[in-house]
Amino acid sequence: MILYTPMQLELVLAGLEQMTHHPERATTVHGVPALVRKVGGREELVQLLSTNPADYLRGDLYPGAPVKPDD
Amino acid sequence: MTFYESFEQVPGIFPYQPPSPPGPGNDPDRRENPDNEPNKERTKVVGKTKSSMEAVKEMGATQIPEVKSNIHCLTIVGQIEGHLVLPPQNKTTKYEHMIPQLVALEQNPEVEGVLIVLNTVGGDVEAGLAIAEIISSMSKPTVSVVLGGGHSIGVPIAVATDYAFIAETASMTIHPIRLTGLVIGVPQTYEYLDKMQDRVVRFVTAHSAITEEKFRELMFRTGELARDIGTVLIGQDAVECGLINEVGGMQQALARLKNLIEERKTRNEVPLQ
């Protein structure tokens, strides 16, 4: 992986070691397959796994959005 | 004689006589008990109260009335995040979300044009090039505006569109690709980095008016950047070297996009035989 940026790499990557990993799970949100994780008691969307491109234009589903999984 | 009767009487004007006495029972459209009326088609009104309250609570934003637009606007801000999830102090644009969005925009018949707004400090080479490649291969008209900054890997994204604008005060930094990984063999590492750089140079020169010599010269110029070699182009400079088409803001960009949409429509019209 190559980062191409005028920003100092020390600044960009600062805190990389301290980053806590929240376990992610694959589920569906409003019927759309997605990866979600629990952060501070609530669940947020990590990534959509849907193959329908129209799902990616939905206003309520984006990385970081608070979601209620279907299960 | 009362006070009002002391005035001069004008028939039809004073004193005022309503055409029918006020009160219920005279209006033909009045319905006494609309809920119990049989055989009446009912319209259900669904309010947006809950979701707009949620939006205010979560994002501090209010719901705006929905207006159908024939263009979509994609903003690329902060670091372009690629193969590595960056620490949370970075503002990032996630390419894995953007690429299907661009696919959806290309496919959706209601979308006629795409506006790309850039204020990025660069990021992952592969992710940036992926976004640039998918924008350049779209059949729908695309226009980009560099506001603030479009540095490093933001340069290929800015030039990937059909027409590129830069704000007067916006800047673009062009500099060589730096190594972030492990060096085992120096000649091999150099070769590899050179190849990665060639990908960027090739894309930029193929999608803008800048020549390869000029772009490489800007990339390796010394004495302009404090910690690196390279060049900062501000507004007009980027236009003069052929990288960007025009200096302009939102008004020019939207007008240009509208023109491109019209052009595409007339091009696609089948002539009558």
CATH of the domain at B96: 3.90.226.10
Half-sphere exposure of B210 (CA within 13 A, CB side): 29
Is residue B189 in a domain? Answer: yes
Number of domains present in the structure of chain B = 1
Query: Given this model, what pLDDT does residue A41 score?
Result: 86
Phi, psi of B48 (to 5 degrees): -110, 15
What is the Cα–Cα distance from A48 to B48, expressed in whole angstroms? 25
Is residue B134 in a domain? Answer: yes
Is residue B200 in a domain? Answer: yes
**pLDDT above 70: residue A33:** yes
Provide ipTM, 2 decimals: 0.88
Least Cα separation, residue B163 to chain A (angstroms): 24
Query: Annotated catalytic sites of B, by residue?
Result: 152, 175
Is residue A46 in a domain? Answer: yes
Provide the residue range defining the domain that includes B253: 69-267
What is the Cα–Cα distance from B172 to B150, expressed in whole angstroms? 5
Cis bond before residue A23 (omega within 30° of 0): no
Segments in B24-124 forming alpha helices (H): 49-59, 95-107
Number of domains present in the structure of chain A = 1
A35 to chain B: which residues are within 8 Å by CB? none
Query: Given this model, what pLDDT does residue B17 score?
Result: 76
Chain A's closest residue to B173, CA to CA, is A6
Nearest to B96 by CA among A39, A24, A56, A37: A56
CB contact, 8 Å: A10 with chain B? no
Least Cα separation, residue B75 to chain A (angstroms): 13
Segments in chain B forming alpha helices (H): 49-59, 95-107, 125-136, 154-159, 186-207, 212-219, 236-240, 250-268
Average pLDDT over residues B216-240: 90
What is the Cα–Cα distance from B10 to B5, expressed in whole angstroms? 11
Query: Given this model, what pLDDT does residue B64 score?
Result: 65
Nearest to B247 by CA among B233, B231, B264, B232: B233
Pair B202, B219: CB distance under 8 Å: no
**pLDDT above 90: residue B143:** yes
**pLDDT above 80: residue B22:** no
Interface of B with A in 9-68 (CB under 8 A): 58
The helices-and-strands tally (H runs, E runs) of chain B is: 8, 8
Is residue A43 in a domain? Answer: yes
Whole-number average pLDDT of chain A: 90
Q: Please state, as a whole number, how many other Cβ atoms lie within 10 Å of the Cβ of residue B167.
A: 20
In the block, which residue shows the tokens 């259900």? B44
Query: Given this model, what pLDDT does residue B246 score?
Result: 95
Q: Which residue in the set A2, A53, A66 is minimally distant from B177, CB to CB?
A: A2
What is the Cα–Cα distance from B96 to B190, expressed in whole angstroms? 29
CB contact, 8 Å: A68 with chain B? no
Pair B172, B147: CB distance under 8 Å: no
CB contact, 8 Å: B146 with chain A? no
Is residue A35 in a domain? Answer: yes
In this structure, are strands B163-166 and B142-150 parallel, antiparallel, or unpaired?
parallel
Is residue B50 in a domain? Answer: no
**pLDDT tens digits for B61-120?**
666 667 788 999 999 999 999 888 888 889 999 999 999 999 999 999 999 999 999 999
Chain B's closest residue to A3, CA to CA, is B124
Is residue A64 in a domain? Answer: yes
Mutant choice from B178, B190, B192 vs A, greatest count of A C-beta within 10 A? B178
**pLDDT tens digits for A34-59?**
999 998 889 999 999 999 999 999 98
What is the Cα–Cα distance from B160 to B74, expressed in whole angstroms? 14
In this predicted structure, which of B8-17, B67-76, B126-135, B252-261 has the lowest mean pLDDT? B8-17
Q: Please state, as a whole number, how many other Cβ atoms lie within 10 Å of the Cβ of residue B216.
A: 16
Least Cα separation, residue A39 to chain B (angstroms): 13
Which secondary-structure segment (H or E) carries A12? Answer: helix A9-12
**pLDDT above 80: residue B138:** yes
Average pLDDT over residues B126-134: 95
Query: Given this model, what pLDDT does residue B112 score?
Result: 94
Is residue A13 in a domain? Answer: no
Query: Is B125 within 8 Å of A4 when comparing Cβ atoms?
Result: yes
Average pLDDT over residues A62-67: 92
Provide the residue range defining the domain that includes A47: 21-71
